[in-house]
Every structure is written in C-alpha cells, then in structure tokens.
C-alpha cells in the first residue's frame, strides 16, 4: 500500500500483500515490527533502508539490503541539494545537544568521501 501523496523524496508507505508480507512474517521476532516491515519493503522494492537500529542493520547486511543511518540521511540531503551543509551541521549539533550519539560533530569530512 503506497500513500496517496509524496512530499519530496520521503514517502509514507506500507507492506504490500504477497512477497513483502511473506518476508515480513519470516523475519526474526527480535526485530521490532517497524524495522521488520521496513526491511521487507526495502528488499522487494530495492530501496535504501534508513535506520540507526543495530539489529536491523545487521539483518539488512545479511539480506543484501543497502542501508544508512541518520548521518547518511543528512549527507544525502546535502548531496541532493535539499539542504546546505551549514544547515545540516546545525541540525546535527542540535541532535548532539539532545544526546544523539554521533561519531562526528560535523558532516564536512563525510561529504568529502
């Protein structure tokens, strides 16, 4: 089930019946329902999975699903021209101030890779 509207590059969606639902049901119960459904959707639609959940990342890797986390999302937004690097760095600083654990305090080095 796809949502009727899309706002930019993020889209609200849900599991389709058939292969997506079968994959969801077959995934380990240690995964939260949100992560499991996201993994099933990403696998069958060849989408990039965005998660900071370690268990979901390990499962994505085992299934051959491309994934990224919060920092990767911010970098992708800058690279696609959806936000300038200074604004993305400001968001990251605000997240760190609210106890987001980040291995970097600025996105500049990640953008150079």
Return the domain boundaries, the chain.
19-68, 70-112
pLDDT tens-digit map of 50-95: 999 999 999 999 999 999 999 999 999 999 999 999 999 999 999 9
Q: How far apart are CA 58 and CA 87, in angstroms?
A: 31
Report residue 73 as tokens.
């999302």
pLDDT for 7: 53
> Which of 73, 72, 63 lies closest to 40, judged by CA?
63
Q: Is residue 10 classed as helix, strand or coil in its secondary structure?
A: strand
Helix pair 85-97, 70-79: axis angle to 10 deg: 160
pLDDT at 1 over 80: no
Terminal alpha carbon distance of the chain: 36
CB-count exposure of residue 30 (10 Å: 0-12, 13-18, 19+)? exposed
pTM of this prediction? 0.78
């Amino acid at each position: 089930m796809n949502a009727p509207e899309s706002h930019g590059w993020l889209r609200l969606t849900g599991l389709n019946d058939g292969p997506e639902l079968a994959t969801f049901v077959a995934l380990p119960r240690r995964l939260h329902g949100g992560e499991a459904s996201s993994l099933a959707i990403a696998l069958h639609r060849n989408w990039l999975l965005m998660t900071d959940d370690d268990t979901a990342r390990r499962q994505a890797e085992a299934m051959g699903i491309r994934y990224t986390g919060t920092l990767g999302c911010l970098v992708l937004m800058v690279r696609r021209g959806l936000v300038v690097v200074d604004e993305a760095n400001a968001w990251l600083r605000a997240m760190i101030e609210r106890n987001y654990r980040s291995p970097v305090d600025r996105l500049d080095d990640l953008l150079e890779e």
